[in-house]
Structure 1
Amino acid sequence: MSATAPSATALPTLGVLPVTHVSEHGRPTGYDVIVVGNGALGSSAAVELARRGASVALVGPRHRPYAASTAAGAMLGCFGEVTTTLVENTYGQTKFALDLRAKDLWPEWLESISGGLSDGRDILTANGTTVLLNSVGTAGIDTDNFHAIRATLEKHDEPYETVDPSDVGWLDPDPNSRPLQALHIPGEHAVDSGRLLLRLEQTARDLGVTLIDGHAASVLGDDGQSRGVVLEDGTSLTSGQVLLAGGVGTQTLVDSVPGLGDCIPRLVAGYGVSAVVTTQDGTQPESVIRTPNRAFACGLHIVPRGAGRVYVGATNIITPQPMADPVMGDLLFLLECAHRQTRRNLWSSAVSGINVGNRPISLDGFPLLGETPLRGLWMMTGTYRDGLFLSPLLAKEFAARMLGGEPELDLEPFAPERAPLGGMSREAVLDTTVEHTLATGYEQHWNVPTGWQEFFDVGLKPIYAQWAEELDPDFTPQPDLLAAARMEPQIALWLKTYYDNCRARFGKPGPPAADSVGDHVRRAAELLTATRVTTPRADALTLAAHVLPGEDPDLDAPMSAEDAQGFWMLVGRRAGREPLEYLTGRARLFDLELAVGAGVRVPHTRTEAMVTEALARCGSDHPRVVDLYTGSGAVALAVGALRPAAVVTGVDVCATALDWAKRNAEGLKDRVEAELDFVRGDIAAPDLLSGLDGTVDLVTAAPPNVPDHVHLIPELATHQPAGAIRSGWDGLDAVRSVAATAARLLTGGGVLAIEHYDALADAVIEIVRAAGFEAVTSHTDREGHPRFVIARRAA
């Protein structure tokens, strides 16, 4: 490829180069390696290359305009950055594997750049990281990301501690933004980015690196080989190895070589604002305090900086070009969030400095790591917030590769020239884009009538779907880039051009890989959330486990088309509010698995409390028991399992319910040793089981008990038999029948246990007393709601 400037004499690509060229400014112009970019990545690479004996020029203006490194909070951690989209994305997992390698290098790295004066810990500014889950964001992002952080910590055996937010020192948020949960990660610290860069600069100088205060304007190259760079002042620096580590500024150099960037995803700017605040009371937290990442951006983070100062960060807005000055709205938003969510007296504190940085973000959202098609020209970028954190790891890896050593890391997925990296289906991208778009509003406390909120989800998705199709029929950008391109025509044009070039070079993408079980579960949970199912993710997981073999499905495994069809059929029924137990055909009481389905009421685990208390009151080891309104036979079977010597009769007026009860008795005959039978009959009939009058030790009942006029959720009101749920205008018709029948059947001192609608406890007590019972007591279920009454038949 030809370059835009005249080429220099060809030079060897390896080995220490004798410096024979000198510019008019008196500095050498020939080097083994030229590193463009003096942020954390470039400076670290220059240091590592020089340590290995290379002559190195490090090019970059000393004041580092637009740089991400100078504006960074410099948090040294990867677990606090975890999101659900990261762990569910194949390429995200690959990048996280690099983060895991990097985290262990920092203690030795800091010591190595401290000139023997310290162990490097003196530039650490925080002792660990505390992650807060507060009430500001949205559950689908903040809560899920918080749980993803904890799950990833546990997966990798990284120490952490669950803490009470009220015990987090220094924290004093606005009561409307108080944290709900917190965890502390003792191994994730932070450094002062300014002091880090100074130490890297001094170390580089001590190692003989030539520091060039200026901009590189273009790349020299011919015959497919890089030859160096041309500076803005016209000076040509020559080398067969050039490393572009200049963040967003790298794009200018790629553009200087015609055709080079056709299939290299272009770098755009993740413009962000941070601030340094001198606190009013001279205090600062001991650790980093941060929220999970949220709404197309990083989470809010407070980093101690010493002398009563804290770093407050950071916003993230994708823009076509880097920005040098803060946008007022972004600055106000950041400062509002800081005092409201972390410490109220920040409102009265002094803003000592405002930082503007521009993170490099490629058009497919992943880093550019490796050699370009122009031999000897390398690219090294971070993405979002991990460039500084990865700098020691990438510096060592690139130094080895560029000087002929063996690579240790698998960087192939992130090679600069590539087809767009995805890792998410278009459907998942659209769902995530909608979710994060709305979350930006909730984070800023927009005032939207609650009843309107559900319409935004429904309305935004087809808009983004149409936009994604307009951008490209085959390729889909990451969610933040999809949203940004809709507002920035230049980014949209770059995406379209990149996609066209990649299609011509690599062909259309193959059929999308089968979505993983986790992908299906996530989308199902979103649908169930929209239809107001109370436990959407748990239900989606249960349905996946029901469809797939094994008790605990692998969320990372692909789901076959056949399994997906069965899964989504069940999800659709659950979205229609059909009871989960009807869909799986199973319910549990104690450790008994019961078959249930249409025509029978679903037993609830709260009934376990009544059964346990009733048997505790019934002293006989071989009691005669009658279970009224037996339904699926759940209570009768539980009593029979817990008292093997009992004789139990279940009664119900509904033939369908009795069919389910008999089916369960047959299925559990190896588990239930008690003598058991089921009888059809009207509970209110005066001759029901008349042969047992005065002989029964225990009567149990979970009768219909909801007043006819009470509004119920669709699972109860629409799908389960009304005769098993409702019981007259006051909800007490069945209770009256149970009390009268139990009074006749029970022996003197016999026990009645009757479940009831929680609001009717007092009325049930009166009915039971009036029927001739004594020692009447009201009891709560495991959730603390008044749920059943226990009484004794008067002698």
Structure 2
Amino acid sequence: MSTLPDQGQKAGYDVIVVGNGALGSSTAVELARRGASVCLVGRPHRPFAASTAAGAMLGCFGEVTTGLLDNTYGQAKFTLDLRAKDVWPQWLESISGGLSDGQDILTAKGTTVLLNSVGTGPIDSGNYEAIRATLDKHDEPWETVDPADVDWLDPDPNSRPLQALHIPGEHAVDSGRLLLRLTDTARALGVDLVDGQALSVVDEDGRARGVVLEDGRTLSAGQVLLAGGVGTQTLVDSVPGLGDCIPRLVSGVGISALVTLQDGTQPESVIRTPNRAFACGLHVVPRGAGRVYVGATNIVSPHPLADPVMGDLLFLLECAHRQTRRNLWSSTVSAVNVGNRPISLDGFPLLGESPLDGLWLMTGTYRDGLFLSPLLAKEFASRMLEGKGEQDLDAFAPERAPLQGLSRDAVVEATTEHTLATGYEQGWTVPTGWQEYFDVTLKPVWAQWADELDPDFTPQPDVLAAARTEPEIAKWLRTYYENSRAKFAAPHPAAPDTVRRHVERAAELLTAVRVPTGRADALELAAYVLEEPSAEATPDAALDAAMTEAQTGMFWALVGRRAEREPLEYLTGRAPFFDLRLDVGPGARVPQRRSETLVAEALAWCTAEQPRVVDLFTASGALAVAVAARRPGARVTGVDDAAALTWARRNARTAGAGDAVAFVEGKAGDPELLADLAGGVQLITAVVPSVPDRVQIAPELSAHQPRAAVRGGWDGLDAVRATAAAAARLLADDGVLAIEHDDALADQVIAVVREAGFDAVASRTDEHGHPRFLIARRSAA
């Protein structure tokens, strides 16, 4: 660790700070306060800097996302933000030269976060809830506000806010005035301000001894701090081999605009949305009477940009007037600024001493550089001058193996969500069906791209997306990953995903392909693979355990078949019915739990103690076996085709029905069917195929289950007519007919049954209130 005094130091400064943005200027000030001789190198106009274009919001809670706090490194970064929040009041006063307490450069009182109708649920709603939960966790004051009561806010009705919360402790400063005060303070403390650009680091015998400027001058020092944002990369590259295992810096290009309102108004607080669509969320920051700063954009670029991209500028201005205040449309754009946020290839800051003795890095802070500047200035001054610090920066040491904040699956999922969110935020007008198609097809694209980049490491979502279209970024990632493997070895293989994680991924896939019960089905398939009796009976411990390789292969094979809409019951080979566990498979209609209501109603109407029962369209034998079990002494005959009866006979044997249940191959419309029972049957049950041929139905029914067990002809009543005719022939006086039918045909089914000679007819509803069942009694002759 380098500390002062350095006995081998040549004539020059104690410390050279390269970069005169918020981070570099703040650190130069703090070093000088502690007695060091400091040189601050940078052009006065700060080309390619992030600070000059920043909204300068002094907040950490408004930046919270679900992804940030889902991993150790994100939590460590947020801890720094929390501590930086408390440093600002004293810091502003300390750089105000005794003229004020520093509050005069605050431009906003608090922050109002909007959840509006522009974003997407997983991102906007998720991040909004994450902000609220984090505020509560850290006891930060906040309040829910009615969006209609937010002063100055007047969005387009199509972009109206749905919810809002106000954080009174998160303010904003004027970044231009902040930088000016830092410069004045540095000058007053004796910091040597050098107008120039550093091109290379002087390396003498494995130690940094200064920098070489573009005009050829060499500045010497005992230590060098590189705090020049994305421009730091040039200096790292100037030392052969130094950057091999330091995540390279790319630029997060952001465009902001200063707008002068025609009506002379401005909000009192910052108004912003949660972070979204690979960017920082729309934010409006007051900048004086009748002036506001607006920002929202982020483009990951291999190199910094000086001029705005037309598409991003149009997008920014469109978002601003539609989502915050409509009369911004008629206001004046006074200035457009371009900032280049430093993003490391693994997405986390580079903070600490490099492998080259005496060379320090303070960059890669992405959107947090200005906000973190007072805290990091104090921390680095302590480390560089005293050899110790207070903050835990170990994870962010510049030379490191890639920090993997999220799993590959999570990165792919987030990349897909943010890609789609970009379209929604820009108001795309694609057909609704295409939106689902995009969701299903994009995820495999990003997953394949991540696999192509590297088998072990995965960059954060915005870098993954950028690397797809920026070959330089892809090349840099591959090189960094290879270098890291050579120096630090390959990462330990990730622990096998838990059953719960597999279920979550499967649920997402099934939901994306329109399986209506995606999560429940994924749980049931997992239970089947684990050899548990059902999803409900699967203990949490089993869900939290890892899946074996064999189980994983079996599970995903089943999920793939379910995604093709093969019935869940065909995949597991089982279906619950009352307390029975029925075997089912191709060739038999899948029994539904709602049919339990039909059995209960039928037995309530049929009072015979030892009834003769016929179950037409018996399929798996569910109703036949259930009736026999619930009315001891009943003799039941199930009727269906040969394929269905294979399953029905198996279920009768499994249930131990014995002679109480028998099966006959036949069709309900056959006038000779069960001729020997004519006039002697007390109860007929039938789940009749009654879906009209012209009606579209779920693929589980239309593509996989027997057509004859589902369709009822053009009007859906063919099987109903056959059943009514068979009942009229087979039932004894006061015999009961119980039919389950398509709920859209309730009145037509009643008419058919009455026409067949039944007077006492009642309709019953299922658990959803749909008229699904008909119960009729045959009158005595």
Task: Normalising by structure 1, report the TM-score.
Answer: 0.74
The amino acid of 1:788's aligned partner reads: R
Q: Secondary structure at the match of 2:565?
A: coil
| 1:7 alignment partner in structure 2 | none
Farther-moved stretch of structure 1 (357-366 vs 103-112)? 103-112
| 2:299 alignment partner in structure 1 | 317
The amino acid of 1:575's aligned partner reads: A
Preserved CA contact (<8 Å) 1:633 1:664: no
Is 1:130 aligned to residue 109 of structure 2?
Answer: no
The alignment covers a number of residue pairs equal to 748
Give the direction of change, closer, same or farther, for the CA distance of 1:235–1:649 in structure 2 (3 Å limit).
Answer: farther
Question: Structure 2 residue aligned with 1:759, among 744, 748, 758?
Answer: 744
| CA-CA distance at 1:569 after TM superposition | 1.5
Greater CA radius of gyration, 1 or 2?
A: 2
Question: Structure 2 residue aligned with 1:270, among 252, 271, 289?
Answer: 252
Q: Secondary structure at the match of 1:115?
A: helix
| CA-CA distance at 1:211 after TM superposition | 7.0
| 1:76 alignment partner in structure 2 | 59
Q: Deviation string for 1:103-133 (max 9, x for gaps)?
A: 5335522322242966969655443423346
Preserved CA contact (<8 Å) 2:625 2:652: no
Give the direction of change, closer, same or farther, for the CA distance of 1:661–1:355 in structure 2 (3 Å limit).
Answer: farther
Is 1:724 aligned to residue 709 of structure 2?
Answer: yes
Give the direction of change, closer, same or farther, for the CA distance of 1:151–1:12 in structure 2 (3 Å limit).
Answer: closer
Distance of 2:224 and 2:385 partners within structure 1? 12
Is 1:658 aligned to residue 648 of structure 2?
Answer: yes
Q: Secondary structure at the match of 1:105?
A: helix
| 1:8 alignment partner in structure 2 | none
The amino acid of 2:719's aligned partner reads: A
Preserved CA contact (<8 Å) 1:272 1:357: yes
The amino acid of 1:725's aligned partner reads: V
| 1:65 alignment partner in structure 2 | 47
Give the direction of change, closer, same or farther, for the CA distance of 1:588–1:45 in structure 2 (3 Å limit).
Answer: farther
Preserved CA contact (<8 Å) 2:649 2:663: no
| 2:79 alignment partner in structure 1 | 101
Aligned-pair RMSD on alpha carbons? 5.5
Is 1:143 aligned to residue 105 of structure 2?
Answer: no
Distance of 1:512 and 1:721 partners within structure 2? 46
How do 1:388-537 residues align onto structure 2 when only pairs under 5 Å count? 388-391=370-373, 394-395=376-377, 397-404=379-386, 411-421=393-403, 440=422, 444=426, 480-481=462-463, 483-485=465-467, 487-488=469-470, 490-491=472-473, 494-495=476-477, 498=480, 501-502=483-484, 505=487, 509=490, 513=494, 516-517=497-498, 524=506, 528=510, 533-534=515-516
Structure 1: runs of 5+ lacking an equivalent: 1-10, 22-28, 670-674
| CA-CA distance at 1:248 after TM superposition | 0.8
| 2:178 alignment partner in structure 1 | 197
| CA-CA distance at 1:326 after TM superposition | 1.2
Q: Secondary structure at the match of 2:71?
A: helix
| CA-CA distance at 1:360 after TM superposition | 0.9
Preserved CA contact (<8 Å) 1:101 1:393: no
How do 1:196-595 residues align onto structure 2 when only pairs under 5 Å count? 197=178, 201=182, 208=189, 210=191, 212=193, 214-215=195-196, 217=198, 218-229=200-211, 239-278=221-260, 282=265, 284=267, 288-290=271-273, 292-294=275-277, 296-303=278-285, 307=289, 310-341=292-323, 343-391=325-373, 394-395=376-377, 397-404=379-386, 411-421=393-403, 440=422, 444=426, 480-481=462-463, 483-485=465-467, 487-488=469-470, 490-491=472-473, 494-495=476-477, 498=480, 501-502=483-484, 505=487, 509=490, 513=494, 516-517=497-498, 524=506, 528=510, 533-534=515-516, 539-540=521-522, 543-544=525-526, 546-547=528-529, 551-552=539-540, 559-585=547-573, 587=575
The amino acid of 2:59's aligned partner reads: L
Distance of 2:256 and 2:709 partners within structure 1? 61
Preserved CA contact (<8 Å) 1:614 1:752: no
Structure 2: runs of 5+ lacking an equivalent: 95-99, 533-537
The amino acid of 1:325's aligned partner reads: D
Q: Secondary structure at the match of 2:252?
A: strand
Q: Percent identity?
A: 55
Preserved CA contact (<8 Å) 1:254 1:261: yes
Farther-moved stretch of structure 1 (760-769 vs 629-638)? 629-638
Preserved CA contact (<8 Å) 1:686 1:741: no
Distance of 1:132 and 1:269 partners within structure 2? 29
The amino acid of 1:266's aligned partner reads: R
| 2:758 alignment partner in structure 1 | 772
Preserved CA contact (<8 Å) 1:596 1:660: no
| CA-CA distance at 1:323 after TM superposition | 1.8
Preserved CA contact (<8 Å) 1:625 1:649: yes
Give the direction of change, closer, same or farther, for the CA distance of 1:166–1:496 in structure 2 (3 Å limit).
Answer: same
| 2:535 alignment partner in structure 1 | none
Task: Normalising by structure 2, report the TM-score.
Answer: 0.75
| CA-CA distance at 1:252 after TM superposition | 2.7
| 2:90 alignment partner in structure 1 | 112
Preserved CA contact (<8 Å) 1:44 1:200: no
Give the direction of change, closer, same or farther, for the CA distance of 1:519–1:362 in structure 2 (3 Å limit).
Answer: farther
Give the direction of change, closer, same or farther, for the CA distance of 1:61–1:534 in structure 2 (3 Å limit).
Answer: farther
Q: Secondary structure at the match of 2:48?
A: coil
| 1:24 alignment partner in structure 2 | none
Distance of 2:616 and 2:216 partners within structure 1? 96
Preserved CA contact (<8 Å) 2:25 2:182: yes
| 2:97 alignment partner in structure 1 | none
| CA-CA distance at 1:356 after TM superposition | 1.2
The amino acid of 1:194's aligned partner reads: S
| 2:3 alignment partner in structure 1 | 13
Distance of 1:386 and 1:688 partners within structure 2? 86
Preserved CA contact (<8 Å) 1:775 1:792: yes
Give the direction of change, closer, same or farther, for the CA distance of 1:528–1:173 in structure 2 (3 Å limit).
Answer: farther
Q: Secondary structure at the match of 2:47?
A: coil
Q: Deviation string for 1:491-526 (max 9, x for gaps)?
A: 45545654565566556x467535635875676567
Is 1:704 aligned to residue 699 of structure 2?
Answer: no
Preserved CA contact (<8 Å) 1:570 1:583: yes
Distance of 1:327 and 1:465 partners within structure 2? 29
Preserved CA contact (<8 Å) 1:586 1:595: yes
Farther-moved stretch of structure 1 (396-405 vs 361-370)? 396-405
The amino acid of 1:772's aligned partner reads: F
Q: Secondary structure at the match of 2:772?
A: strand
| CA-CA distance at 1:189 after TM superposition | 4.1
| CA-CA distance at 1:270 after TM superposition | 1.4
Q: Secondary structure at the match of 2:357?
A: coil
Farther-moved stretch of structure 1 (303-312 vs 331-340)? 303-312
The amino acid of 1:67's aligned partner reads: A
| CA-CA distance at 1:613 after TM superposition | 10
Preserved CA contact (<8 Å) 2:587 2:705: yes
The amino acid of 1:212's aligned partner reads: L
Distance of 1:487 and 1:232 partners within structure 2? 32
Farther-moved stretch of structure 1 (270-279 vs 386-395)? 386-395
Distance of 1:78 and 1:302 partners within structure 2? 16
